[in-house]
Each structure stands twice: as structure tokens, then as C-alpha cells.
């Protein structure tokens, strides 16, 4: 289909160049584009416990638990986290697992989780909540068998049997390279569509009415986990990827009809801004 693919190159900056966008790559080259889709995802926060990291994929899982739910039939599973994602995972796993233990580092999860989830968890008999608790070790020969739980309030450590440990303590979106003109929420996730209008209207270019997956910068879109309000599921990310293609075409058609495509964008200085990829 005529796509040009650049492998193993990090994008380090995005700038405007007349009516176009300029992407600067780590090797010093640049790519010009009439539209940009940001789909850089997130990096899940890690516990930082070496024995836990050793068992990732072998009983220890970061992020959503949906894909492992049925495999937990009759098992004892643990979830690290106190947000809505952790609460939803606990309720989903509780339909199959024998016990689900929610491990909360702080004194309570009520302030960081939606009220309806708190009530559901409290009324689900096989969901147990342990506050002031952190995972400090993980044991298993080829797969997770036991974990060590430190009770920070009682200054004790328990070793308990565990089939699976789901770590759901949030993620860091890969958005540090984006310019300040692209609005983000306090956690760094990209605002798009209505969220831009509601939370960062002052960041909009004059006359810019963002499309559903468009950012505060005209012609720059975001899709998948990097976007504020994304569902953090493969199916929804794929759906956004398909949707954003139509939206890009809509913006490009608007640009063409306005005659912008016939106006060559030129740098603000006479020399080439960087080595252009062709």
C-alpha cells in the first residue's frame, strides 16, 4: 500500500512547520506529515521486586486480568492496586477463582475507587481486602507458587500460597516527547475530542474544533492506551486505530478542499531544519 516503515527509531519531538507537522527522530533525521497519529501506549508501573519480575508471564501479570480470568478457576489469586481497574479485575476474577485478595498499600481503597465498586467488593464473599500490605517477595520453580506479604501496620511478613499475582498500579504514558501545545491530563495522558473542549479549551488553536480522537493540535490524533479515558483493552485499542484512520482522512479532505495542500510549507529559517527522510 506504499507505506514507508522506519524501524528502531525513537521520535523525540513533534513541531509545526507551516501547515505541516515535523517529527524529529533520535538519529537526527525528520519526517514531514500532514497528519500524525500518536499511539505510543503506556509502560505499566513495576513493583521493583526482582523475584516478582523474574516470574512475569509465569503467574505474575501486569495490567488487565481479563485474558487470564477463566484460567483462575478454583485458584487463589492476588491483585496489587486500589484503583478502579483493580476493583473491576477483582470482581471479574471472583466469578472463577476460589479467593481473590486485593492488596492495598495504603489504609483504605475507598478514596481511590468508585463507590459502586467498593460496595460490590464488600458484598462479594470471596474477595478479601488487605490494607497496609505490600508484596516483598515471590517464590516458585518455573511458576508462581507463593508470595511474601509485608504488613506495614503490624510490621509482620506472611508467606501465602498464590497461583497468580496481578499488578495493577497504573501506567506511565509515553508522552514526554510531545510539545506543550498538545494538552494532557495530570497523569500525562493525551486529551482528545470532547475532553479537550472540557478540560483544555484554552490550548486550542483559534477555530480548531477537534474531531473525536483529535488532540488540541489540529491534525494530530491519539489512539489506544496513550489517550485519556481509553479502556485499556486490546479490542478497544484496535477499534480506535480503525476509527482514527477515517478521522485522519476527514481532516486531510478538509485540508485539500481548503487548498492547503497546494501551499508548500517552508521552515522559519532558510536552511533545512534537519535531514529529511524521503
What's the Rg (C-alpha) of the chain? 23
Domain residues of the chain, as ranges? 11-42+172-276, 46-167
pLDDT (tens digit, 0 to 9) for every residue of the chain, 278 residues total? Answer: 888 888 888 999 999 988 899 999 999 999 999 999 999 999 888 999 999 999 999 999 987 666 677 889 999 999 999 998 899 999 999 999 999 999 999 999 998 999 999 999 999 999 999 999 999 999 999 899 999 999 998 899 999 999 999 999 988 999 999 999 999 999 999 999 999 999 988 888 788 899 999 999 999 999 999 999 887 778 889 999 999 999 999 999 988 887 654 444 443 333 456 777 75
Distances in Å between the Cα of 220 and the Cα atoms of 124, 147, 201, 265 are 44, 45, 16, 17
Sign of the Cα torsion 112, 116, 122, 127 reads negative
**Alpha helices of the chain — where are they, by DSSP H?**
50-54, 84-94, 115-122, 194-199, 234-257
Within this chain, domains 11-42+172-276 and 46-167 share the same CATH topology: yes
Span 46-167 CATH architecture? 3-Layer(bba) Sandwich (3.50)
Specify the CATH class of 11-42+172-276 in words: alpha beta
Beta bridge partners of 36: 220
Amino acid at each position: 500500500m506504499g507505506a514507508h516503515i522506519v524501524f528502531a527509531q525513537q521520535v523525540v519531538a513533534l513541531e509545526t512547520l507551516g501547515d505541516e507537522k515535523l517529527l524529529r527522530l533520535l538519529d537526527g533525521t525528520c519526517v514531514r506529515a500532514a497528519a500524525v497519529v500518536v499511539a505510543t501506549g503506556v509502560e505499566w508501573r513495576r513493583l521493583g521486586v526482582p523475584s516478582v519480575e523474574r516470574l512475569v508471564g509465569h503467574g505474575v501479570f501486569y495490567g488487565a486480568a481479563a485474558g487470564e480470568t477463566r484460567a483462575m478457576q478454583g485458584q487463589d489469586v492476588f491483585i496489587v492496586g486500589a484503583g478502579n481497574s483493580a476493583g473491576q479485575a477483582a470482581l471479574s476474577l471472583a466469578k472463577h477463582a476460589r479467593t481473590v485478595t486485593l492488596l492495598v498499600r495504603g489504609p483504605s481503597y475507598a478514596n481511590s475507587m468508585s463507590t459502586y465498586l467498593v460496595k460490590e467488593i464488600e458484598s462479594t464473599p470471596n474477595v478479601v481486602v488487605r490494607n497496609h500490605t505490600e508484596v516483598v517477595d515471590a517464590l516458585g520453580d518455573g511458576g508462581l507458587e507463593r508470595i511474601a506479604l509485608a504488613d506495614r501496620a503490624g510490621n509482620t511478613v506472611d508467606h501465602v500460597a498464590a497461583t497468580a499475582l496481578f499488578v495493577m498500579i497504573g501506567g506511565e504514558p509515553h508522552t514526554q516527547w510531545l510539545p506543550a501545545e498538545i494538552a494532557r491530563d495530570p497523569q500525562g495522558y493525551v486529551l482528545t475530542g470532547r475532553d479537550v473542549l472540557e478540560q483544555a479549551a484554552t490550548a486550542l488553536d483559534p477555530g480548531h474544533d477537534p474531531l473525536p480522537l483529535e488532540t488540541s493540535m489540529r491534525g494530530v490524533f491519539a489512539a489506544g492506551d496513550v489517550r485519556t479515558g481509553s479502556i485499556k483493552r486490546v479490542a478497544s485499542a484496535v477499534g480506535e486505530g480503525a476509527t482514527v484512520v477515517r478521522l485522519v482522512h476527514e481532516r486531510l479532505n478538509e485540508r485539500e478542499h481548503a487548498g492547503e495542500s497546494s501551499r508548500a510549507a517552508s521552515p522559519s529559517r532558510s536552511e533545512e531544519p534537519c535531514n529529511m527522510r524521503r
